[in-house]
Amino acid sequence: MDIIRSFLVDLKMRTTDRILELRQMNGDPKVEPRIIMMEDGGEVTVREANENDAREILEYLHRNADRFPFMINTADELEKNPTTEIRFIQAHHRSENCIMIVATHRMRIIGLLNCLGGQKRRTKHDAEFGLSVDADYFRKGVGSAMMDTLMHWAKNQSPLERLTLMVMHDNCGAIALYKRYGFIQEGIRHSAVKIDDAHYQNLIIMARWLRRKEG
């Protein structure tokens, strides 16, 4: 028991030190960095994206675009300019109803969540987000960790009242994840994604209310 207790205390101290280090690296983040342990003992950090992530985010997207069947963009359609990506990250950080979250393992981005709030007075209460995880890290808790971070920020630090998303109809793992977080289906965009001349995908529209103001 003493050995186990000593191990847990040491793990907690190392995790706390790492979080403090991440705070210093990320300046004034919207969310506290989180560290999770995968079943194989690997350490994954979930935090807000910053300007230094721009090149790695582009590499992540290009690396997974054609490996991950549920991404809308193909590799040749993705942004290639890090300067443009930096502006995109900065815009998310400045806006009170937007956030970009990354998951990293050994300093490499393995997950990305992009939440974009409405930019008009009548839509700024609603945000649409998309989430992806590197194909090598499926079913390791990375998606759940990013969802935990998003939901905590959205509920406690943003002006958002609801979150929405669209997911391909046969992405069963993602749909199950969103349902666990209280999202329900609101509609279907039939054959909205054309994979090739013979195959189409419906997009399932899902949403969850965070708070609803009366009146």
List the CATH number of the domain containing 102.
Answer: 3.40.630.30
* pLDDT tens for each residue of 167-189: 999 999 999 999 999 999 999 99
pLDDT of amino acid 176: 97
pLDDT of amino acid 28: 82
Q: Considering the domain boundaries, does residue 115 fall inside one? A: yes
Q: Considering the domain boundaries, does residue 11 fall inside one? A: yes
* pLDDT tens for each residue of 41-63: 889 999 999 999 999 999 999 88
Pairing of the two strands 162-168 and 184-196: unpaired
Across the range 119-134, mean pLDDT stands at 96
Q: Which residues contact 181 (CB under 8 A, 6 or more apart)?
A: 147, 151, 208
pLDDT of amino acid 191: 96
Q: Considering the domain boundaries, does residue 92 fall inside one? A: yes
Q: Considering the domain boundaries, does residue 25 fall inside one? A: yes
Q: Considering the domain boundaries, does residue 79 fall inside one? A: yes
Q: Which residues contact 127 (CB under 8 A, 6 or more apart)?
A: 97, 98, 115, 116, 117, 118, 154, 158, 160, 162, 163, 164
If you average pLDDT over every residue of the chain, what do you get? 88
Residue 7 pLDDT more than 80? Answer: no
Q: Considering the domain boundaries, does residue 178 fall inside one? A: no
Domain membership of residue 128 as a residue range: 2-160
Residue 206 pLDDT more than 50? Answer: yes
* pLDDT tens for each residue of 80-116: 899 999 999 999 999 999 999 999 999 999 999 999 9
pLDDT of amino acid 108: 96
The closest of 187, 188, 129, 131 to 162, measured between CA atoms, is 129
Q: Considering the domain boundaries, does residue 182 fall inside one? A: no
If one counts the domains in the chain, the total is 1
For residue 164, list its beta bridge partners: 128, 207
Q: Are 101 and 112 in contact (CB under 8 A)?
A: yes
Q: Considering the domain boundaries, does residue 96 fall inside one? A: yes
